[in-house]
Structure 1
């Protein structure tokens, strides 16, 4: 299983660190059957998370090369600042994807991110 976690400026640290740890541990327990990577919406870059954590992201996302795409939360309450709203408004979330099984979200604030949770069909 290939997992891509999309990072962007303003992403919440716990929202990307938790899934990374869970999928990485699954990979360890499965002998590498699960592979996880941080990606950015466009190209490799340094992302600054909500509380200042800087993460060097080595690759841009490529949905065709992922079985699971995780779009963490961040900036939901700040529509004019960095975060998911900025990604949606910049067109970083591709609109030509269709959900395979529908979005999965554990946050009550993920409705805007659903436009990012789609993949080619």
Structure 2
């Protein structure tokens, strides 16, 4: 799965937006809660830290607590449910991708790379 496909899953599963996929050109359009079309380059949480923080904020709103570790495991992202149940733990060389993969995993969406 490539990064744009992960972005599409995050838009749909984490952010709760409707999505439309165009297989022939590889573009995923996302529709926000207000039914506004998000141009594919506008929402790119696997690469854009501002968009990744939107994912973090959404997860916090939806009952999750996030922990970032520093040092040896610099890009380890852990999501806990509010009852302190471990929901996901992901390490990735990119912090933005780690946030996305951890959020998806916390919601029960497994992503194969």
Q: Tell me the TM-score normalised to structure 2 length.
A: 0.33
**Structure with the larger RCO, 1 or 2 (CA within 8 Å, 6+ apart):** 1
Higher helix share: 2
